C-alpha cells in the first residue's frame, strides 16, 4: 500500500506515545531520531543573494570580482564573494552533487544537477536602486522565480523527474534589511517593513513550489547582520552586545527570523505535501562571534580582506588599490584567512562557511531537527 510505504519511509520524530498501525509499530523514543534511508537528491535549485551566489552576479556584471577573491580554494576569483567555497558548495558536495552552475552564466554551465538563481545583492522585494545606478541586484526573488520557470521549460537542461526529486534551497533577506539601514530609514522603520518582506517571500515560495513539482525545501534564515563590519563601521554609535555586534541591527534580523519561521509554519499548512526545513543559520553564525575559539577562529568582527579602522573596513574594498598618504596600497588578504570569520566586511570566509555548514547539516539548528540528508521527510502532523 502506497500509504504504508510512505509511512515506513517517514522520518519518525514523535512526541506522542507509541501507536500501532496494522503490522507496523512506531515507538516513541523521546528525542531519538531514526530513519530507514537518506534522501536521494539528484539536483539542487537555489535562490538567494551573495551568501549563496556561485557566479551569477559576476556573470551578469563581469567586472565584479577580482583577486584575492577565491584564493583559498579556487586559487582565482570564482564568482563567489569569499576566499573560497560557500555553504551551498558544501551542501552540494555533501550530497555528491557538482557545484551549482549559475543560471546567468553562459560559459561551462551544466544544469543537469540543478541551477543557482542567486545573485549577490539580491533582495526579496523590488529594490529601490539597482546596479549600476545603485547597489542592488536586478535579479531579485521574483526574477529568480521567472528564471526558474524558463529553465524548467527548456528541454533537457535538467531531467524532468529531477525537478520533483530536487532539494530547493533558499538564503535571502539580508539585503532587504541592509537596503533599509543604508537608505536613512530608522531601525524601527526597517523593522516595521519586515512583515511585507516575509509576505513577499511566501508568495514567491508558493509560486516556486507550484511550478517545480518539488517536495523538499531547505530555508536558511538571515544571519546576524549587526556582526558584519559594513554595519559596525557605518553605524559606529550603535549599542553593542557582549560579542561586540550592533545589537539593534541584530534585533531586526531576529524579528525577520521570527516572522520567517511563522511563515514557514503557515506554508506547511498551505502546502501539505511539502517537506520544509527551517534552518537557524543566525544562531550557527552567531556562535562564531560568541565562541570564536571553539571553532578555531580569532578576531571575528574584523574583515580579513579590507582596509581601515577598527574593523579593517571602510577605507578600501577587498581587491582595490588605494592611495594612503601618497602611497599605493593593494587591499589584500590577511595572513591567515583560515582563522578568520569575516572575509571582506560583508561576507564570510571559506573557513567560516565550512564551520557553519558542519553545524547546520546535522539538523541541530533545524526545524524539524532533520539532518540535510533527511530533508525530504516530514514530521507527521
If one asks whether residue 235 binds ligand NAG (CB under 6 A), the answer comes out as no
**251 Rama class: left (phi>0) / alpha (psi -120 to 50) / beta:** alpha
If one asks whether residue 239 binds ligand NAG (CB under 6 A), the answer comes out as no
- Nearest distance, CB of residue 277 and ligand NAG, angstroms: 23
Edge-to-edge strand order for the sheet containing 216-220?
114-116, 44-48, 167-171, 216-220, 275-279, 366-367
CA angle, residues 86, 92, 95, in degrees to nearest 5: 145
- Nearest distance, CB of residue 262 and ligand NAG, angstroms: 12
Q: How far is CA 215 from CA 153, 173, 319, 337, 371, in A?
A: 19, 22, 41, 38, 16
If one asks whether residue 191 binds ligand NAG (CB under 6 A), the answer comes out as yes
Question: Which one of 202, 344, 361, 366 is the catalytic residue?
Answer: 344
Nearer to ligand NAG, 6 or 128 (CB): 128
331 SS3 class: coil
Interface pattern 260-299 for ligand NAG (x via CB under 6 A): ----------------------------------------
Interface pattern 141-180 for ligand NAG (x via CB under 6 A): ----------------------------------------
If one asks whether residue 128 binds ligand NAG (CB under 6 A), the answer comes out as no
308 DSSP β-pair partners: none
- Nearest distance, CB of residue 213 and ligand NAG, angstroms: 8
Verify cis geometry, omega within 30 degrees of 0, for the bond prior to 217: no
Residue 23: exposure state from Cβ atoms within 10 A (0-12, 13-18, ≥19) = exposed
If one asks whether residue 5 binds ligand NAG (CB under 6 A), the answer comes out as no
C-alpha–C-alpha distance, residues 59 and 147, integer Å:
15
If one asks whether residue 199 binds ligand NAG (CB under 6 A), the answer comes out as no
**Segment holding 194, helix H or strand E:** helix 187-212
DSSP string, 275-289: EEEEE-HHHHHHHHH
To the query of whether residue 50 is one of the catalytic residues in this protein, the response is yes
Interface pattern 298-337 for ligand NAG (x via CB under 6 A): --------------------------xx------------
To the query of whether residue 344 is one of the catalytic residues in this protein, the response is yes
* List of residues contacting ligand NAG (CB under 6 A): 110, 112, 183-184, 187-188, 191, 207, 210-211, 248, 251-252, 255, 324-325
The residues that are catalytic are 50, 344, 347
Amino acid at each position: 500500500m502506497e500509504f504504508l510505504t510512505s509511512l515506513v519511509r517517514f522520518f519518525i520524530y514523535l512526541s506522542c506515545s507509541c501507536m500501532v498501525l496494522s503490522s507496523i509499530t512506531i515507538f516513541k523514543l523521546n528525542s531519538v531520531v531514526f530513519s530507514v534511508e537518506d534522501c536521494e537528491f539528484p539536483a539542487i535549485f537555489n535562490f538567494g543573494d551573495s551568501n549563496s551566489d556561485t557566479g551569477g552576479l559576476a556573470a551578469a556584471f563581469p567586472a565584479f570580482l577580482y583577486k584575492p577573491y577565491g584564493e583559498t580554494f579556487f586559487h582565482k576569483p570564482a564568482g563567489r564573494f569569499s576566499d573560497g567555497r560557500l555553504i551551498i558548495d558544501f551542501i552540494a558536495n555533501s550530497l555528491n552533487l557538482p557545484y551549482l552552475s549559475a543560471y546567468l552564466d553562459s560559459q561551462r554551465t551544466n544544469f543537469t544537477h540543478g541551477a543557482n538563481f542567486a545573485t549577490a545583492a539580491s533582495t526579496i522585494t523590488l529594490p529601490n536602486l539597482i546596479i549600476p545606478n545603485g547597489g542592488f541586484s536586478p535579479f531579485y526573488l521574483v526574477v529568480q522565480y521567472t528564471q526558474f520557470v524558463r529553465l524548467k521549460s527548456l528541454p533537457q537542461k535538467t531531467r524532468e523527474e529531477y525537478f520533483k526529486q530536487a532539494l530547493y534551497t533558499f538564503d535571502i533577506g539580508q539585503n532587504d534589511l541592509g537596503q533599509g539601514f543604508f537608505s536613512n530609514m530608522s531601525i524601527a522603520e526597517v523593522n516595521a517593513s519586515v512583515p511585507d518582506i516575509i509576505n513577499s517571500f511566501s508568495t514567491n515560495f508558493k509560486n516556486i513550489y507550484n511550478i517545480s513539482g518539488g517536495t523538499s525545501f531547505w530555508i536558511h534564515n538571515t544571519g546576524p547582520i549587526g556582526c558584519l563590519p559594513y554595519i559596525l563601521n557605518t553605524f559606529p554609535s550603535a549599542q553593542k552586545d557582549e560579542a561586540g555586534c550592533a545589537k539593534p541591527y541584530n534585533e531586526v534580523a531576529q524579528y525577520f527570523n521570527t516572522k520567517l519561521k511563522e511563515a514557514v509554519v503557515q506554508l506547511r499548512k498551505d502546502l501539505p505535501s511539502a517537506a520544509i526545513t527551517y534552518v537557524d543559520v543566525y544562531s550557527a553564525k552567531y556562535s562564531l562571534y560568541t565562541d570564536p575559539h571553539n571553532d578555531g577562529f580569532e578576531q571575528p568582527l574584523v574583515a580579513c580582506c579590507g582596509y581601515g579602522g577598527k574593523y579593517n573596513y571602510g577605507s578600501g574594498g577587498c581587491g582595490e588599490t588605494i592611495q594612503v598618504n601618497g602611497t599605493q596600497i593593494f587591499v589584500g588578504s590577511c595572513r591567515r584567512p583560515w582563522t578568520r570569520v569575516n572575509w571582506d566586511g560583508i561576507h564570510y570566509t571559506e573557513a567560516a562557511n565550512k564551520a557553519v555548514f558542519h553545524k547546520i547539516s546535522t539538523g541541530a539548528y533545524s526545524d524539524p531537527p532533520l539532518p540535510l540528508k533527511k530533508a525530504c521527510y516530514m514530521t507527521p502532523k
